[in-house]
Structure 1
Amino acid sequence: MEAIILMAVGALIGALISWGIAHRYHQKASIEFDDQISSLTEQINSLSELNKSLSKSVEELIAVSNFTAEKAEIIEEHALAGTSDDPNWPYK
């Protein structure tokens, strides 16, 4: 009977030590996990801002490109048709 009690007490002590170690590493891992999540969140936010900035730049570039293309088309039409307000047009 004494051997059974000693075995039960040893198992209980081993279980408590095992639980304590696991609990400590779980807390440490939780802190590291929160730090990693914070870091990743900051990186995602900065990438989101960069994406918005690049999107705006691309939209501006497209607008300038469209304006330039329209201007070139108008200049080409003007060069081919001449001007109505310049009576000496081909003879300058």
Structure 2
Amino acid sequence: MPDIAVQECGNIEAAFDIARLNGLSLTDELKTGQTLDIACTTACTESVVGKLAADGVKPATAPSAEEVEAAPYGGIGYMGIEIDFVVK
């Protein structure tokens, strides 16, 4: 939920508004395709929303099945090329 708040409203404080509006807890696990009502009652930080959109960054996006398969162990001590870092 906090990632969605940053992505949609530009600040983490909006997570409380989004959770309350949807009858959820901040720690509830969302389901794929689940629809949320988004209302940024806290001041929306348009510069953050715009920068994330311009850079194609979606902090609320979970790893794809391919990314999980490429680095099945994850966590501390494990890194996946092109997932955790880029080789140039």
Q: TM-score, normalised by structure 1?
A: 0.17
- TM-score scaled by length of structure 2: 0.18
Instruction: Kindly indicate which of the two structures has a greater share of residues assigned to helix.
Output: 1
Tell me which structure has the larger Cα radius of gyration. 1
